[in-house]
Amino acid sequence: MVKLIAFQPHHKLGFIHWNKNQDELARFAGHSFRYPLSLEQIGDFPAKVNATAFALESEDGLHLANGDFVVDHENKEIRLCRLIVHCDYRGQGYGRLLVEGICSKAKETQLNYRISLNVLDDNVAAIALYSKCGFHMSDQTFSFEVDGIVYRGHKMYLNEDKTASKPI
């Protein structure tokens, strides 16, 4: 059994240890952080980005995944951000539990807001996961550059007729 809990300071270590190089870090957090990541760099996350953050833990306290959302009142949208599953536990359903759990928490916050996330175009596994969770690809694109590498992606929206299954 796993549980979705409020993000705690010790969960920051996942950010540090799960991103092994600048490319992985850019794919995880855009241009927000530089490799090597440190506790000082992370600072008072999630408060500094006004995020509501969570961690997925096993029954015995094993840290499996992190994710958060930010609320955009101007666009009446909740954006899922910084979703990551520990590399040793990918492909075991934890990503889906994380996404569905955070969607459920987000809906509790603002029932009438759309839920979205950004995904890199070449992240086939993430696109498949998000699609299984009820998200669909939009025509809205984004790009950013880190160390001369341009990352491109699309915004995905949660289908209004498909909500997250059940909260964790």
Residue-wise pLDDT for 29-79, tens only, equals 999 999 999 999 999 999 999 999 999 999 999 999 999 999 999 999 999
Output the average pLDDT for the chain: 94
- The CATH number assigned to the domain holding 87 equals 3.40.630.30
Rounded (to 5) percent helix, strand, coil in the chain: 30, 35, 35
The answer to whether position 128 is within a domain reads: no
CA angle 2, 25, 131 (to 5 degrees): 55
The answer to whether position 155 is within a domain reads: no
CA distances (Å), origin 149, targets 114, 118, 152: 31, 18, 10
DSSP designation for 155: E
The answer to whether position 69 is within a domain reads: yes
Please give the Cα distance from 60 to 47 (Å, whole number): 27
DSSP designation for 10: G
Q: Please classify residue 43 by burial: count the beta carbons closer than 10 Å to its beta carbon, then call 0-12 exposed, 13-18 middle and 19+ buried.
A: exposed
> Do residues 116 and 154 touch, judged by C-beta distance below 8 A?
no
The answer to whether position 143 is within a domain reads: no
pLDDT (0 to 100) of residue 163: 44
The answer to whether position 122 is within a domain reads: no
For tokens 């520990």, what's the residue? 86
Give the pair of three-digit tokens for residue 2: 């796993």
Indicate if the pLDDT at residue 132 is higher than 50: yes
Give the pair of three-digit tokens for residue 134: 């009820």
Buried b (16+ CB within 10 A) or exposed e, 133-144: bbbeeeeeeeee
**Length of the chain in residues, anyone?**
168
pLDDT (0 to 100) of residue 110: 84
The answer to whether position 167 is within a domain reads: no
Residue-wise pLDDT for 22-36, tens only, equals 999 999 999 999 999
The answer to whether position 127 is within a domain reads: no
Indicate if the pLDDT at residue 162 is higher than 90: no
Q: Which domain holds residue 25?
A: 2-115
Domain total in the chain: 1
The answer to whether position 62 is within a domain reads: yes
